[in-house]
Amino acid sequence: MSTNSVSFKFDIKPNKPLLIAGPCSAETEEQVIQLAQAIQSTCPQVSLLRAGIWKPRTRPNSFEGIGEKGLVWLKKASRINKIPVCTEVAKASHVEAALKAEIDVLWIGARSTVSPFIMQEIADALRGVDIPVMIKNPINPDLALWLGGIERIQQAGIKEIAAIHRGFSSYNTSKYRNVPNWEIPIELKRQAPNLPLICDPSHIGGRRELVGPLAQQAVNLQFDGLMIETHLEPDKAWSDAEQQITPDALAHLIASLSTSLKEASQEDVYPRLDTYRQEIDRLDNYILELLAERMNIAHQIGNYKKQESIAIHQPKRWAETVKRALELGETNGLSKSFILELFQKIHNESIERQAKN
């Protein structure tokens, strides 16, 4: 198997997100080359060009990628514009073809990370190869599955690894194509602090106008990089037309990103930050004590229900509790979805406690 000649590294710098841009899919040779050129001239901060060659599509009979010939176009665009390139691989034969074509960086898509069999097949194909690999989160909100996929690639000996957060499928309707569930990448960063974490606001938002705000949100959360789908004529794109932006829009997005978050650590701000944090810690402690008290009562009520042969879950009572919480939440400016989720969690724990009697 050929080894890669270009040694791209995830060069992570504070306040300077690593930028990856390019079309959802490579469509024609001219498209790839012209786009690479446009990105280079309008957004020189972009350090890696992306394009999908094999596209995992939800339904059959839609455009499933241009296939292997696209690798040659990508490499040509890379040579002409002196920018490294990356593409998605989803099975061993993709890895082999991409390595043969000397693609610089690989990424593994959300529909692959979800399957340990596929991840192992890709990991085995990568054994003994020195190439950077980016692993997108699985489509379902499962941190262990994401970590498991990353571990398989690590165990194959790959040293340069990054994670990409592209949001999660949800049964509920939402303004996002894939809900961000920010707590999952935040927890990934806590468990793997040295793993570069890149955000893909294009696949989270699914709509052009959400890309900028999501990119800023990722920067605010200290993500290390951004992957943004870019196309010369987004409306005519062969896949993901609604979420792609032009190189000009990308340049504007980059220019308007406020990345100099370090300013918050200037001396005059510090004492105030400490005061806020002390106040938050005090309230968190209070919340925890109240929750413990609530759970103790759940335990007692569980005993009583058992004694009196009363069912643990009382749907009517639960409906009333939710209604009251939503009303009080609204009066206090708390969002419906937050209150509902919070109370569902509290209720679940309470049921567990009652069942333990």
CB 38 within 8 A of CB 244: no
Residue closer to ligand PEP (CB basis): 65 or 247: 65
Residue 180 DSSP SS3: coil
24, 218, 226, 245: residue in contact with ligand PEP (rule CB under 6 A) = 24
Binding mask 211-250 for Mn ion (x = CB under 5 A): -----------------------------x----------
* Residue 240 CB coordination number (10 Å): 19
Residue closer to ligand PEP (CB basis): 239 or 354: 239
110, 123, 161, 226: residue in contact with ligand PEP (rule CB under 6 A) = 110
CB under 8 Å to 143, separation ≥6 — which residues?
Answer: 184, 187, 188, 191
113: left (phi over 0), alpha (psi -120 to 50) or beta: alpha
Residue nearest to Mn ion (CB): 24
Q: Binding-site residue total for ligand PEP (CB under 6 A)?
A: 9
- Which regions of 151-266 does DSSP assign to beta strands (E)? 161-165, 197-199, 225-229
For the CB of residue 164, give the shortest distance to ligand PEP in the complex, in Å.
7
Of 2-10, 32-40, 103-111, 120-128, the segment contacting ligand PEP by CB under 6 A is 103-111
Q: 196-222 burial, b for 16+ CB within 10 Å, e for fewer?
A: bbbbbbbbbbbebebbbebbbbbbeee
Residue closer to ligand PEP (CB basis): 91 or 294: 91
For the CB of residue 281, give the shortest distance to Mn ion in the complex, in Å.
41
Of 33-41, 105-113, 327-335, 348-356, the segment contacting ligand PEP by CB under 6 A is 105-113
Q: Measure the CA–CA gap between 5 and 104, rounded to whole angstroms.
A: 8
Is 24 a binding residue for Mn ion by CB under 5 A? The answer is yes
136, 152, 208, 353: residue in contact with ligand PEP (rule CB under 6 A) = 136
Nearest partner of 113 among 134, 85, 129, 84, judged by Cα:
134
Q: Which residues bind ligand PEP (CB under 6 A)?
A: 24, 52, 56, 109-111, 136, 166, 203
